[in-house]
Chains A and B, each alone.
Chain A
């Protein structure tokens, strides 16, 4: 973008260090719900700046309008004499990028006729699969994003990425089933299969029975594991002064979990929906061991937290858009699997509960106590999954959980979160309290 170059040149003349993040995102969504369909089409375009003047860091974001005054933007830059004190600009100086393929589908945005056809066919597939399906909602969102990161150290990197997000929810009586797929390639979307899975889930979740209050051994589906890990994220991201990373919470002993627990973040895996050649600060992505066999190895860093902690960025400085600040965020969180099959886990439990997903959670980072409501949970009887259960509340201590986790499945499932994915196994947790 020309304007990026002009801002950099002007900054150099002014003697300030500047990082420019320029975004152009086109989005197209087709949403079908109870007999009606709508298209939401958007284009988000703007610039996020970070500026260091007199060793103070400030940031500014703007979009374009007629008569856009570049000088006004640069005058704003001059204002930042009261920003965050920094030793040196926390900007990327590495011109390397990680080689990651399969991030941009030449198909680009899904056009209106095709989008309508995909969602309509998915709804048809779910309804045709089982006549007891009463309601289906379906959404297909495609996005094409172009990001340029440039700074006064001479770094200038551009990346293009597509993302296709498909979700379908089927209802039958009180039973509900949902499937979500996030991919970089439109060709790989198997919407028919997703529709059938969501329909089957809804049917299986009918006729829920009440769960008696008490303690149960539980098998957590990767969807539930993903939510628990999201609670740990602020603790495994580097300290900027205000947050409480896990190491501080647990003292100096880096052994924080059982030897069966290993969690990695890796933004370099080809084709995954959250892989990238470089983060939103221009730093190359890399594989990063966060917890290895129960030992806390490395937190995730962006450039600023890396500088504060005298480390290098791990390539995890991300923005949700040009309007937002940079925060530390994972790409693909990989929880290492174990040796057991899913059925072996159920047999190990014998008499317990399978929790497919969790909602409405509350987590106290000081004590580690989390309360949440399991949705689509099933009773496990004599080592087999039996009837669905009504909503209840569970209480567990996440810090206890990570020290006691021993049995994990070989099989792992990718669960998309809002801005990253968790790829996790099924996990057996003992003695979880269920209340009403």
Chain B
């Protein structure tokens, strides 16, 4: 075997293991994590790891094998281990939808930056914040990773991609306030966007010091792009995941073609270059595509893995994602709302409302269609003007009501908000965003 080339063994697995469906995933990641706190490097971690995972479906049961060791001896033994395990599994009813075999090779080049340059950049990002005597501490966790993925399927697909990703997670604290933000990119880091984001975080942390508790009640609320992303992820994105539809858990089951939001709302999950959730194909070897979930307020589609597509009689659409060695499920990648026509000053034209920014997690109870999204930064808006800063707020309500109450969609747009989405214990990178939006008469506390 040539150093770093496992091709022969990947193909041997496909040829040797007899299964109804088989896929081999190879993933190699290398990169660096830097923790930069209060003007000094607090930790540097460099890594270079490789994994192989084989998923075989036979007689309706899955066998999934994972190794983090890519040495010849380990790869050689994989087929016999899979075959032995498959023999012990009973028959089941799992099945997958087929996908046109695809050959693909994609690579996005990153810029080679020395460790010294990276540290200088972090120092530059943090220096003006640390000069502020009100700031108690400031931490940036910078992670960069170049991920090489290859998937070969028994259908004849062979897909590879190599993408550099970077994620900046920052927390700024004063003695009485704290603010966290997360900015992710694929390809090159957009330094200007990052710098602007950090400056906004700094301003928000300071304004929180004057923040008052919001008086619980119903308000017209203007959401900044990070919160728009979080809102649509919770109320449209996750409920549109095919497994929740198939299990009957989602309120979006059986409502394809129905109006669930105003005409101004279009929601997509798509491979967007530059976003942290970028992938050219999913973890099942299906090419990623632009998936329209809501078009002009009408529910138009679901996110599918091969298995959920089979259950619902649809086509897989490149949404099957999962950690190495785990069963893939329908997942989001980069979810966003399309921009609208409103300028920011038009969005703010409310007699008395709240402007909210700084996504801080959300929650959806599918059972009773109730959602909650949290904002770290909020201000009272009076007649279009920013007034009293508020402490962190929670926005809650029923999904169907809140969606129909979106009355204005802004012209601005950002999908830089990034993070990791956890579903059934499996974590995948995602981006979310869109324009600023206005929702009328929603519960805030």
Q: Which of A41, A79, A323, A436 has the most CB of B within 10 A?
A: A41
The answer to whether the Cβ of A371 comes within 8 Å of any Cβ in the partner chain is yes
CB distance from A28 to the nearest CB of B (A): 9
Q: Once the chains are docked, how many angstroms separate the CA of A57 from the CA of B42?
A: 9
Q: How many A-B residue pairs have CB under 8 A?
A: 181
CB distance from B305 to the nearest CB of A (A): 14
CB distance from B252 to the nearest CB of A (A): 19
The answer to whether the Cβ of B51 comes within 8 Å of any Cβ in the partner chain is yes
**A83 CB contacts on chain B under 8 angstroms:** 41, 43-44
A356-368 vs B, CB cutoff 8 Å, 1 = contact: the mask equals 0001101011110
B396 close to A393 (CB less than 8 A): yes
A41 close to B119 (CB less than 8 A): no
Q: Once the chains are docked, how many angstroms separate the CA of A362 from the CA of B393?
A: 11
The answer to whether the Cβ of A310 comes within 8 Å of any Cβ in the partner chain is no
A242 close to B139 (CB less than 8 A): yes
The answer to whether the Cβ of A244 comes within 8 Å of any Cβ in the partner chain is yes
A323 close to B44 (CB less than 8 A): no
Partner of B171, one of A42, A63, A111, A242: A242
Partner of B70, one of A41, A64, A359: A64
B47 close to A116 (CB less than 8 A): no
**A59 CB contacts on chain B under 8 angstroms:** 43-46
Q: Once the chains are docked, how many angstroms separate the CA of A46 from the CA of B74?
A: 14
**B325 CB contacts on chain A under 8 angstroms:** 40, 42
In B63-87, the 8 Å CB interface with A consists of 63-72, 81, 84-85, 87
Identify the closest chain B residue to A23 (Cβ): B68
B-contacting 9-mer, from A31-39, A270-278, A282-290, A378-386: A31-39
- For the complex, count residues of A whose C-beta is within 8 A of B: 58
A64 close to B372 (CB less than 8 A): no
A371 close to B50 (CB less than 8 A): no
B88 close to A112 (CB less than 8 A): yes
A58 close to B50 (CB less than 8 A): no
The answer to whether the Cβ of B394 comes within 8 Å of any Cβ in the partner chain is yes
Identify the closest chain B residue to A85 (Cβ): B40
**A212 CB contacts on chain B under 8 angstroms:** none
- For the complex, count residues of B whose C-beta is within 8 A of A: 72
B108-132 vs A, CB cutoff 8 Å, 1 = contact: the mask equals 0000000110010000000000000
A362 close to B374 (CB less than 8 A): yes
Partner of B85, one of A41, A46, A66, A240: A41
A-contacting 9-mer, from B89-97, B183-191, B433-441: B89-97
Q: A68-B71, A82-B115, A325-B45 are in contact. Are A362 and B63 (CB under 8 A)?
A: no
Q: Once the chains are docked, how many angstroms separate the CA of A184 from the CA of B69?
A: 26
Q: Once the chains are docked, how many angstroms separate the CA of A64 from the CA of B361?
A: 37
CB distance from B50 to the nearest CB of A (A): 5
The answer to whether the Cβ of A435 comes within 8 Å of any Cβ in the partner chain is yes
B347-379 vs A, CB cutoff 8 Å, 1 = contact: the mask equals 000000000000011010101101010100000
Partner of B48, one of A38, A62, A241, A242: A62
**A240 CB contacts on chain B under 8 angstroms:** 42
CB distance from A416 to the nearest CB of B (A): 13
The answer to whether the Cβ of B207 comes within 8 Å of any Cβ in the partner chain is no
The answer to whether the Cβ of B173 comes within 8 Å of any Cβ in the partner chain is yes
In B157-178, the 8 Å CB interface with A consists of 171, 173, 176-178
Q: Which of B45, B116, B119 has the most CB of A within 10 A?
A: B45
CB distance from A129 to the nearest CB of B (A): 22
A66-77 vs B, CB cutoff 8 Å, 1 = contact: the mask equals 111000000010
Q: Which 5 A-B pairs have the closest CB atoms?
A: A112-B88, A67-B3, A36-B92, A38-B62, A360-B363
A/B interface sample: 7 pairs, CB < 8 A: A37-B92, A39-B64, A39-B85, A62-B47, A323-B47, A325-B43, A391-B367
